[in-house]
Structure 1
Amino acid sequence: MSSGSKTYIVEHLDPELGAWSELEYLAIARESHEAGSNFCLSSLPPAFKVPEALTKIPSFTAETRGVEELYASDKSRVCLLDPAAASDLSPEDGNKFDAFLFGGILGDDPPRDRTSELRKKGFEGRRLGPVQMTTDTAVRVTRMVVEGKTPLKEIPYLDHPELKFNEHESTQMPFRYVKGEDAKPIMPEGMVELIRKDSDKAIDDMF
């Protein structure tokens, strides 16, 4: 992993990878690579099959080891993005931490406190705000703050946007997104098509 760059880590925690999560992880990997950062999936079960598209992104790594083993020598350099943390993420945290850890909680609706397991391991935590984000949004926001030095409150958000597929079909997303230059939520490539195709399913079933 390149020196001086940031590493974004998602503890995957599940034996399989849903279509939704795969698109999110591809977006995280591509955007991290473009920014000169690294993306790691940790705690992967031994039988976990990493999608070929992910393996082709140079700054992506897949790890069966957990983050506490990867950073055993210096836990203080790892920031846990934690809704229950005492303080919000700030641009200054880019100087304090090398790695930013996401526990799989951010894409869940309703949220499951999976981050609590990581909290118990002693990593220092920071909040991203009160509204649930998808995992790729959480990483995107974190990178905007710690690498782009943009305060959380200055990031343009769209909360619970409605996706219109045609004049008869639409669905409201239960998450916060970053607003793109086209005023639409920034979402992974292929995500809108996946949601439209699966709009008769519960959001939970797509992860």
Structure 2
Amino acid sequence: MADINPLPGKTFVVEHLDPELEAWSSLEYSAIASECHATGAQFLLSSVPTSLKLPTNLQGAKGLNVETRGIEDIYAAEKDKVCLLDPSASKDLSPEDGDAFDIFLFGGILGDDPPRDRTSELRKKGYQGRRLGPVQMTTDTAVRVTRIVVQGRIPVDEVPYLDHPELKINNNESTQMPFRYVKGEDGRPIMPEGMVDLIIKDSAKGLDDLL
């Protein structure tokens, strides 16, 4: 596992709370690593079991550090600099939080539908919490929005969003995503490379099971 080498900017940490790593999670993590690297930040995937073999797209990914230790051990001396992105927090994330915190913590997997409040496991550890609004986000979207707010200094309610977009599976079928996404310059939701194909493939598989 890689040691942590501080980079300019902020550190975004996803505490991996599952014994496995699903294909869609690996796509999200790859997107987070790429975007963090491009903006001078770093992405830390913590609490990764030693038995978990990273998929090819994450092995050697720029901007990604992987740790078997949990957040409490890694940042034991910097707890006051850690901000937990928590849907149940009483205060929304603000650009000023970029001055107060250096580490932004996310509990995997945020993208559960319906939400299972996996973040509660981290909330109990006593980190200061901030909210990203009322609509459920995927993990990569939550990190993306946090970067936009604390590094881009844009208020969370001024980020351009698309809520519950529909993805076309074929000429006759579409599926509605139950999450909020950042709206791209092309007017479409920003999603990790390969995610739409994976969603369509899984949706088509589910439709076949119904036939």
Give 2:47's aligned residue. Answer: 43
CA offset at residue 141 of structure 1? 0.2
Equivalent of 2:166, from 158, 162, 165?
162
Partner of 2:115: 111
Q: Distance in 2 between matches of 1:165 and 1:131?
A: 24
Q: Is residue 85–residue 127 contact of structure 1 (8 Å, CA) maintained in 2?
A: yes
User: Of 143, 150, 156, which residue of structure 2 is paired with 1:146?
Assistant: 150
Query: Relative to structure 1, is the Cα distance of residues 165 and 69 closer, same or farther in structure 2, using a 3 angstrom cutoff?
Result: same
Residues 77 and 201 of structure 1: CA distance in aligned 2, closer, same or farther (over 3 Å): farther
1:169 counterpart letter in structure 2: E
For the pair 1:185 / 2:189, whether they are aligned, the reply is yes
Matching residue of 1:102: 106
SS, match of residue 55 in structure 1: coil
Q: Which amino acid counterpart does residue 51 of structure 1 have in structure 2?
A: P
> Given the alignment of the two structures, is residue 91 of structure 1 paired with residue 95 of structure 2, yes or no?
yes
Quote the RMSD (CA, aligned, Å): 1.3
Is 1:31 aligned to 2:35, yes or no?
A: yes
Deviations 1:73-114, CA, capped at 9 Å, x for gaps: 120100000011110000000011111000014211010111
- Percentage of identical aligned residues: 69
The residue number in structure 2 matching 1:205 is none
TM, length-normalised to structure 1:
0.94
Q: Does the 8 A contact of 1:39 with 1:60 survive in 2? A: yes
Q: Which amino acid aligns with 2:68?
A: T
- For 1:26, give the aligned amino acid: S
| SS in structure 1 of the partner of residue 72 of structure 2 | helix
What TM-score, normalized by structure 2, do the two folds share? 0.92
- Cα distance in 2 for partners of 1:182, 1:97 equals 32
SS of residue paired to 1:33? helix
How far off its partner does 1:201 sit? 5.6
Alpha-carbon distance in 2 for matches of 1:105, 1:47: 19
> How far, CA to CA, are the matches of 2:164 and 2:146 in structure 1?
19
Alpha-carbon separation, structure 1, partners of 2:41 and 2:6: 8
Aligned to 1:176: 180
**Uncovered stretches (5+) of structure 2, i.e. residues with no partner:** 207-211
In the alignment, is the contact (CA less than 8 A) between 1:105 and 1:113 conserved in 2? no
Q: Are the counterparts in 2 of residues 105 and 111 from structure 1 also a CA contact under 8 Å? A: no
Q: Tell whether the 8 Å contact from 2:82 to 2:128 is kept in structure 1 after alignment.
A: yes
Q: In structure 1, what is the equivalent of residue 140 of structure 2?
A: 136
Query: In the alignment, is the contact (CA less than 8 A) between 1:85 and 1:126 conserved in 2?
Result: yes
Please name the residue that 2:59 is paired with. 55
Give aligned pairs, total. Answer: 202
d(CA) in 2 for partners of 1:68 and 1:34? Answer: 27
